[in-house]
Structure 1
Amino acid sequence: MTAFDESERRIWAGRADAFAGSFARLCAYPVSRLLDAAGVAEGVRVLDVGTGTGTAAAAACGRGARVTAVDAEPSMVARAARAVPGADVRLAALPELPFADGAFDAVVGNFVVNHVGRPRAALAELRRVTRPGGRIAVTVWALPAAAGQALLGRAVEAAGVGRPAHLPMVDPGDDFSRTEAGLAGLLDAAGLADAGCETLRWDHRTTAGEWWSGPASGAATIGQIVTGQSPEVIEAIKGHFDALCAGFTGADGVLSLPHAALLAHGRA
C-alpha cells in the first residue's frame, strides 16, 4: 500500500454518511452513461469497484444485472449493503481484488481510480477480473477542474491555506494526465482494446449548506484540509466560500456548479 492509499483510508474512515449528505449526488451524475459504456444489462455479471454508498450498484440491479460491489471503507460497505440488498457487497480494495480471473462480464469504477495510489496497477486488476471480451468503464475528475469543482479549493486558497504535507499526492511515476488522452492511455497501458474516452459536463445543482457540509465534516481531501485548521481560519475559509457562492447562485437561491469528468471504456 502506498502512502497515498494509506492517506485515503484515513480520510474516508467512518465518513459514509458525510459523503452521502454532500458529494454523493454529484458523483451519481455519470452512472447511467458509465453502465451504458460497460454494457450493463439484464443477466450481466457486473462488478462495481469503489461502490461508495452504492449508487452504481443500485442502478445496475435496476437493469437486472447480477451485481457484486466492493469498497475499501467499511462504513461505505455497510451503507451500500443496506441500500442495495440485491447486490453482493464486500470489503475489498484495489489493486488486489478477491475474485478469480475473468469472473465478471463487466466492471465499472465510478470515481475510484482517482482514489488509488497505483492507477496503472488498478486498471490491470480490473482487466484481470473481467472475462475476455468483457467491458470496463471508469470515471475520474478532469483537470484543469471546472469552475464549480474548483469552488471549495478557491475558498481555501483565498484564506491562504495550502495542502499540508501529511496529505500525499500520487507518486509522479504512478500518476497519469487527467485528460481524455491521459485516461485513454491508462486503459491502453493496461492492455484494454478499443480504449476510448470522452468528457462529460454538467451543472450540479445544490445548496450552499449542502456543499459546505462535505468539507465541514472532513469528507474528501478538501475536508481534511479545512478541518485541520484553527477555528479562526475555518471561519475565514467559510467567508470566502460564501462570497464565491454568490457567482453561482440563481434567483431561486440554488447553486449551479459546472463540473467536468472523464468517462473511459475498453474491452478486456
Structure 2
Amino acid sequence: MTARESTPVSGSPERDATEAFDAAERAMWRGRSEAYAGSFARLCAYPVAALLDAAGVERGTRVLDVGTGTGTAAVAARARGARVSAVDADAGMVAAARARGIDARTAELPELPYPDGEFDAVVGNFVLNHVGRPRAGLAELHRLLRPGGRIAVTTWGARRGAGQDLLGRACEAGGAVPPPCLPRLDPTQDWPRTPEGLTQLLGGAGFVASEAAELAWEHRAGVEEWWSGAAGGVATIGLVVTSQDPRTVVRIRREYDRLSAEHTVVEGQLALPHIALLGTGRRP
C-alpha cells in the first residue's frame, strides 16, 4: 500500500473532511512554537528515550524524526550519534529545530521529500494524532524505511491519566463553548486508540512484528507553566480557551486554580499523571 493508493477520491466527503482536519491542525499550530516550547514540550519529551530505543536508534543510524516540533527527539537522536533528518508541517517549528542544529524541512504527511528506503529508522513523537490520514501517513513512512528498518511512534490513547483532564475540566466548569473550528477526524480514518488498535494500524501499513503498549508517567509542571500552554493557544485545549470571550476565560482560569489543588504537590507545582501509547514495527 502507498500513500497515493490510499488517497480519497477528489471531491468525496471523505477527502473534504480530511482536508478540513489537516487545515484546522495547521492553523491551530501556526505561530505557536514558542508557546509550545514553554509549556507542553516538556510533557511530550518524556517518551523520547523509549521511542528511540524502540526504533533502534544508535550511532550511525540514519533516522527521520517526523513531526519534530521544536526538535526534541531529533536532538536526542543526534546525541546518540545518529545521522538525523527531521520534518514538521509548521514552519515555525522547523525554524526552532534548525536553531538547535537539526537538518529540518517543512513537509507534511502523507507526502515527504525523501527517496524510497532512505532511512534505517523513523520516529514520530505525538504526530499520528495530528494527521488526517494516519494510514496513508504510516504507508509513507513504510516507503521511506530500508528493508529491516524500524518505526516507533507515540500517540495519545483512549485511556487517560487524571492530569490530562485538568484543563478540560476547567473549561467545562467555566462554561466554555467548543468552537466550530476544532479539528475533527473523519470517522472513516479513525482507529481504536488502544495498544491493540495501534498494533493493527501499524500492521495494516505493512509493518511486521508490530506491537504497542501504554506508557504512564507523572509530569511535573508549574501552575503557571501548565496554564500558559492553553492560554497561548497550544493544541486543541488552547484553541478552546483562546476562542472564548474574556469573561469566560476568567471563569476558566478561576476553575483551573480551584481544580489544580487536586494535583498540587508543593506550592505552585503540579503532579499530572499522563498515559500515552508507544507502537513499534519493522519493514520486511
In structure 2, C-alpha distance between the alignment counterparts of 1:140 and 1:4, rounded to whole Å: 17
Question: By how many angstroms is 1:161 displaced?
Answer: 2.2
For residues 122 and 201 of structure 2, the distance between their equivalents in structure 1, rounded to whole angstroms, comes to: 16
* 2:55 aligned partner: 38
Match of 2:84 in 1: 67
Tell me the equivalent position of 2:75. Answer: 58
1-structure distance, mates of 2:278, 2:182: 26
- Over 4 Å off, 4+ runs: none
Match of 2:196 in 1: 181
Alignment check: 8 A CA contact 2:89 2:107 kept: yes
**Map of 2:93 onto structure 1:** 76
Report Cα offsets for 1:232-261 as digits up to 9, x if no partner.
Answer: 000011111111100000135410000001
* Separation (CA, whole Å) in 1 of partners of 2:199 and 2:176: 33
Which residue of the partner structure matches residue 216 of structure 1?
231
2:47 and 2:268 mapped to 1: Cα distance? 25
* Separation (CA, whole Å) in 2 of partners of 1:150 and 1:29: 18
Cα deviation for residue 19 of structure 1 reads 0.3
Q: Distance in 2 between matches of 1:189 and 1:147?
A: 32
Name which of 248, 251, 254 aligns with 1:239: 254
TM-score, scaled to structure 2: 0.92
Question: Are the counterparts in 1 of residues 177 and 244 from structure 2 also a CA contact under 8 Å?
Answer: no
Which residue in 1 is equivalent to 2:123? 108
Q: Which position in structure 2 is the counterpart of 1:9?
A: 26
Deviation at 1:164, TM superposition (A): 2.1
Match of 1:25 in 2: 42
- Aligned residue pair count: 266
Which residue in 1 is equivalent to 2:215?
A: 200
Corresponding residue number in structure 1 for 2:15:
none
For structure 1, the 5+ residue unaligned runs are none
Separation of aligned partners in 2, 1:92 and 1:253: 39
Q: Which residue of 1 aligns with 2:107?
A: 92
* SS of residue paired to 2:162: coil
1:16-38 deviation per Cα after TM superposition (whole angstroms, max 9, x unaligned) = 00000000000000000000000
Q: Any idea what SS the aligned residue of 1:108 has?
A: strand
- Corresponding position of 1:122: 137
Cα offset, 1:163, TM superposition: 2.5
TM-score (norm 1): 0.97
Q: State yes or no: 1:251 paired with 2:254.
A: no
Q: Secondary structure at the match of 1:17?
A: helix
Q: Among all aligned residue pairs of Structure 1 and Structure 2, give the percentage whose two residues are the same amino acid.
A: 59
Gaps of 5+ in 2: 1-17
Secondary structure of 2:214's match? strand
Indicate the residue corresponding to 1:263 in structure 2: 278
Let me know the Cα RMSD of the aligned residues: 1.0
- Which stretch of structure 1 is more off in the superposition, 184-193 or 160-169? 160-169
Q: CA deviation at 1:177?
A: 1.3
With 251-260 and 106-115 compared, the bigger mean Cα shift is at 251-260
- Cα shift readout 1:92-132 (whole Å, capped 9, x = no counterpart): 11111011111100000000000111111111111110111
Q: CA offsets, 1:44-93, max 9 Å, x none?
A: 1000000000000000000000000110000000010011x1x3211111
Instruction: Provide the C-alpha distance between the structure 1 equivalents of 2:36 and 2:128, rounded to a whole number of angstroms.
Output: 17
1:202-259 C-alpha deviation (Å, 9 max, x unpaired): 0000011000001101111111110111110000111111111000001354100000
C-alpha separation between the residues in 2 aligned to 1:6 and 1:251? 41
Alignment check: 8 A CA contact 2:159 2:275 kept: no
> Residue 145 in 1 paired to residue 160 in 2?
yes
